[in-house]
Chains A and B, each alone.
Chain A
Amino acid sequence: MDIFKIIDDIQRIDGDALGRMEFASRRHFMNRIGSKVAQVAVPTVFASIVNKAFAQSAGAVDVLNYALTLEYLEDEFYKAGNAAANLIPASDKVIFTQIGKHETQHVAFLVKALGAKARTKPTFDFKYNGAFADVFTNYKTFVTVSSALEDTGVRAYKGQAGALQADPQILEYALQVHSVEARHAAMTRRLAATVTGNAAMKGWITGKEGAVPAIYAGEDNMTQGGKDLTGLASKSNAAITEAFDEPLTKEAVLAIAGPFIKS
């Protein structure tokens, strides 16, 4: 644990943190003069500061728990996929190992950030009521679902940015995860295009091109910032829709993810 980096991070979120920590440490020091002070003071003081630092608003806690639900879903999905025998070809193992690693890291980060407020891990059914019955035995299905999950993740994080404006540091963390989901999405979309032979599916989303239509509703939006961009820079509608990814509301995302979540 890089305590100094963490303290520095907290200080950026919560300007009072260091002052309180120093105050608390001094009290510890005065109460318990001895060699154990440094070992004891840091963790206990630290725990109280972490809670303060991340639980800045009820809205942020809701958003982070929503994100945690989706990250749990992705993490479990890749853990199962990476563990399944004869599913992922050797040539693509490194890709899904890397993606899975990130989802595990995202879960760990969110659990740490939320502390006692973190929701428990749901139980999942990746067969999606039978629609993806062979998801862990048929690579085509696995890659298809993977690309759909990643694109949903991109849309989900994007849809929450505005709700985090009161918590600038949490907003920044969310953006830093959001772009990683987009990297995953581009990679898995291109794999899906190859595996399923769908040349129309690129790393970016043309119109609402994607493996699971419900997930791509509204991606073909041509209006940005209140302006209809048709004909902008003499570019095609395809290029213009590719240039902007669209958000999804929490309700829409949970409707999509619902069949994956048993409880």
Chain B
Amino acid sequence: MNRPINAKNSSGKKEEEIASVVNRRLFLRSAGLATSLGTIVISAACSDDDPDPMIPGTGDAVDLGSGDIGVLNYAYALEQLEAAFYEQVIKTPYAGITDAEKTILTDIRDHEVVHRDFFKAALGDKAIKGLTPNFATIDFSKRDAVLGAAKLFEDTGVAAYNGAGKLLKDSGYLLLAGKIVSVEARHAAVIRDLINPKSADFAGDDVLNTDGMDKAVAPADILAAVKGYVTDNITGANVGK
């Protein structure tokens, strides 16, 4: 089990939800499944990359919706995470940050905040809620940790927008996504150059394929990849459909 029962208590879940989980576990046990096989079944159901209908998570359920609105909410969700990340970076700068680095990271923060607030305004009453990020695994006091996370977020953002483009039906939305993704790619290149200056990493062979192309990744895979950075349980099964 990934999460002890008492973690759910502290998250404020209703007692009957916990009781029902316990009851299901007891049922499995009494049915003779609490063997090694049963353990595998249960731990698989609790896996972090598989939203688990059996065990309530610690955060809220957030459905991105369907069609173009789903894609825009998907972008809004990612921009929320990026904006929150850079807001924290600027609020608690890592040890030894240079003026040049601070200028770059402040610029990027501003771009992500603009993207986030733009999507929120554009979506209006169709916008998902404000998400609760979870950056517990990122040590904001360390340069390597912060720039490493920034690289991950930017490369992920590029792959996400590239993969979402063909899901959009409205050409105006497609153009908007295009206007934003190239800015994310600029961020990715600059962050990568901060990590390994004057190297090939700004458009590195670790992220590009042998046709000289960036990744394009489907929403389900992106959501699984960022799941650890947000407490909400985001589902996007109907994004673009």
Contact = CB atoms under 8 A, between A and B. Distances in A.
Interface residues of B, number: 51
B145 interface: no
Interface string A183-210: 1111100100000000000111000000
Interface string B194-237: 00001110110000101111111000000000000000000000
Contacts of B122: 225, 227
Contact of B175 (A102, A109, A161): A161
A229 B118 contact: yes
Interface of B: 104, 107, 110-111, 113-118, 121-122, 158, 161-163, 165-166, 169, 171-172, 174-176, 178-190, 193, 198-200, 202-203, 208, 210-216
Given A178-B181, A186-B202, A232 B117 contact: yes
The 8 closest A-B pairs by CB, nearest first: A105-B212, A102-B212, A182-B185, A176-B213, A182-B182, A186-B186, A98-B200, A168-B166
Interface stretch (A31-39, A55-63, A234-242, A251-259): A234-242
A13 to B, nearest CB: 11
A227 B213 contact: no
**Binding site secondary structure of chain B:** helix
B111 A242 contact: yes
Of A94, A173, A178, A186, which is in contact with the most chain B CB atoms at under 10 Å from its CB?
A: A186
Given A161-B178, A175-B165, A233-B114, A187 B183 contact: no
A102 B208 contact: yes
**Binding site secondary structure of chain A:** helix
A176 B162 contact: yes
B222 to A, nearest CB: 14
Contacts of B186: 182-183, 185-186, 203-204, 245
Interface string A124-158: 00000000000000000000000000000010011
B185 A224 contact: no
A81 interface: no
A120 interface: no
Contacts of A102: 203, 208, 212
Given A182-B185, A182-B189, A232-B121, A243 B114 contact: yes
B211 A105 contact: yes
12 contacts: A91-B198, A95-B200, A105-B211, A106-B212, A109-B211, A175-B178, A175-B181, A175-B214, A182-B189, A186-B185, A186-B189, A239-B107
Contacts of A175: 161-162, 165, 178, 181, 214, 216
Contacts of B171: 161-162, 165
Nearest to B158: A179
A158 B175 contact: yes
Contact of B183 (A161, A169, A225, A244): A244
Contacts of B118: 224-225, 227, 229, 232, 243
Contacts of A239: 107, 110-111, 114
A109 B212 CA distance: 9
Of B116, B185, B193, which is in contact with the most chain A CB atoms at under 10 Å from its CB?
A: B185
B130 to A, nearest CB: 14
A180 interface: yes
A242 B178 CA distance: 14
A246 interface: yes
Interface in A96-120: 97-99, 101-106, 108-109
B33 to A, nearest CB: 38
Given A105-B213, A161-B165, A235-B110, 10 more contacts: A176-B162, A179-B162, A179-B182, A183-B202, A203-B186, A204-B111, A233-B110, A239-B111, A244-B180, A245-B183
Contacts of B216: 172, 175-176
Nearest to B176: A225
Contacts of B172: 225
A203 B182 CA distance: 11
A178 B198 contact: no
